[in-house]
Amino acid sequence: MSDKLIIFDTTLRDGEQSPGASMTKDEKLRIARQLERLKVDVIEAGFAASSNGDFEAIRGIANEIKDSTICSLSRANDRDIARAAEALKGANSARIHTFIATSKLHMEMKLRMTPDQVFEQAKQAVRFAKNLVSDVEFSPEDGYRSDPDFLCRVIEAVINEGATTINVPDTVGYAVPELYGNFIRTLRERIPNSDKAVWSVHCHNDLGMAVANSLAGVKIGGARQVECTINGLGERAGNCSLEEVVMAIKTRRDYFGLDLGIDTKHILAASRMVSQTTGFVVQPNKAVVGANAFAHASGIHQDGVLKARDTYEIMRAEDVGWTANKIVLGKLSGRNAFKQRLVELGVQLDSEADANAAFAKFKELADRKSDIFDEDILALVSDESVVHHDENYSFVSLSQHSETGERPHSTVVFTVGGVEVTGSSDGNGPVDASMKAIESHVKSGAEMVLYSVNAISGNTESQGEVTVRLQNSGRVVNGVGADPDIVVASAKAYLSALNKLYSKVDRVAAQG
């Protein structure tokens, strides 16, 4: 077996299936560039057959990203596979990842197919994909809950058809580490041609064991690919966390004995970018990338770290990007310094007009805030008014009045299709009044299912980053807004969410 562990990132596909985490093509491209900077081996860029938007995003990533293999998911049918191959045409290295459910429950209740029908469809799908690309991955969906005898039969057949990677997913997060590791090992030992493919693990976090199960699949089962996402993003309780798996393998090389191609210095930037793009805030005590991951509050701990760092730190904060360039820019910084910092953060704007708009926003922010942090810059370039020119709703200005004993009132000026409009309303607080002011004109009828505020940096001068999640007619979207004024940030977030509702992009969720 190889001593290299392949990191397969599915933030842009499985991660995007989190309710409200749907991304635009531009957002996907920005994250893909950061994943390439991170030196991720395989980027699963989306599900080409699910929508025209996803197809175009995959094609854009395939044409631009050259150092990582670009992958598209597809169901086990000719239409999906052909669509994936078409989207991947421009890739230096392309992979088609095709799947079909193999558990008794899924075959009977979801697919309405017999095991023999599933067996034949799996073989035909891999055979068809192999005619289009040389690198084909096959996943038996709900593999961990599948009958081992049937699973061995299917996997042996698809390897004979040319599958180069076999992924055994714990689709519903049911596994426990020792059993999952032994399950992978047993399959590899029983299948005669198992050495002809790379074995992969894809674990969900429903019981909080996705990382542990994945590592068991590697150590006990002999898997040499881990499928994971930045920040553990994903549907339900999420996926295996890339940063945790990578740093576990790196920190405990004495135990795992495996090499990685990942440039860990870019982990934190990737984490922040995904968090700010999707609006999914990273919890402070999250391993590796949480705000408290390298913080020491206890006097005993602080004393120990000051005397010898490794008394309480098993990895260095700077190895994952924590200490580099803490405060980077201020109001006297010029255009070139700003552009260079964007490059260092892995941000690439589409045009000179976008760069100019971003710089103008930066100067405006610098006049209001003395120190500009990396988080501020990432929030700024995530602003739809900077990177998107086709938005339907755009913030202009806001005024609000609140006083103890009186009902708050807000007036919001914004554009609808380029035409300036004004909405006014009372509310239970200034934020509530501002959102009701917008809704009084828009009349979207959307239900707000989440409102959260996160301080981008740690003082009262900090920008507030607000996430608003709206639901309407079964569609769930996130909007994110940032501003030193929380009320303004809230209005921006609400308009951002309305823009995503307005786009009406159809999506088809896939299981993995």
pLDDT at site 460: 65
Give the number of other CB atoms < 10 A from CB of residue 354: 17
Span 390-503: which CATH code? 3.30.160.270
DSSP run (H or E) holding 472: strand 464-472
Under 8 Å between Cβ of 175 and 223: no
Alpha helix (H) residue ranges in 241-334: 242-251, 253-256, 267-278, 299-307
- Sort 477 into a burial class: Cβ within 10 Å, 0-12 / 13-18 / 19+: buried
**Beta-strand runs (E) in 238-392:** 327-329, 372-373
d(CA 204, CA 173): 4
| Number of Cα atoms under 13 Å in the Cβ half of residue 325 | 22
Under 8 Å between Cβ of 5 and 258: yes
- pTM value is 0.85
Span 6-278: which CATH code? 3.20.20.70
Give the number of other CB atoms < 10 A from CB of residue 93: 18
Q: Strand pairing partners for 443?
A: none
pLDDT at site 322: 76
Return the SS3 of 78: helix
Residue reference for tokens 């299981």: 511
pLDDT at site 306: 60
pLDDT at site 359: 86
pLDDT at site 398: 97
Tokens coding 279: 């609006």
Under 8 Å between Cβ of 212 and 175: no
User: Tens-of-pLDDT digits for all 512 residues of the chain?
Assistant: 679 999 999 999 999 888 778 788 888 998 999 999 999 999 999 999 999 989 999 999 999 999 999 999 999 999 999 999 999 999 999 999 999 999 999 999 999 999 999 999 999 999 999 999 999 999 999 999 999 999 999 999 999 999 999 999 999 999 999 999 999 999 999 999 999 999 999 999 999 999 999 999 999 999 999 999 999 999 999 999 999 999 999 999 999 999 999 999 999 989 988 988 888 888 889 999 987 887 755 555 555 656 666 776 788 888 888 754 444 567 777 888 888 877 776 676 767 888 888 888 888 888 877 677 777 777 777 665 555 545 789 999 999 999 999 999 999 999 999 999 999 999 999 999 999 999 999 999 999 998 988 877 666 677 888 989 999 887 888 888 888 899 999 999 999 899 888 875 544 444 45
Sheet holding 447-455, edge to edge: 447-455, 464-472, 475-483
pLDDT at site 327: 44
pLDDT at site 390: 57
Closest to 177 (Cα-Cα) out of 208, 136, 147, 134 = 208
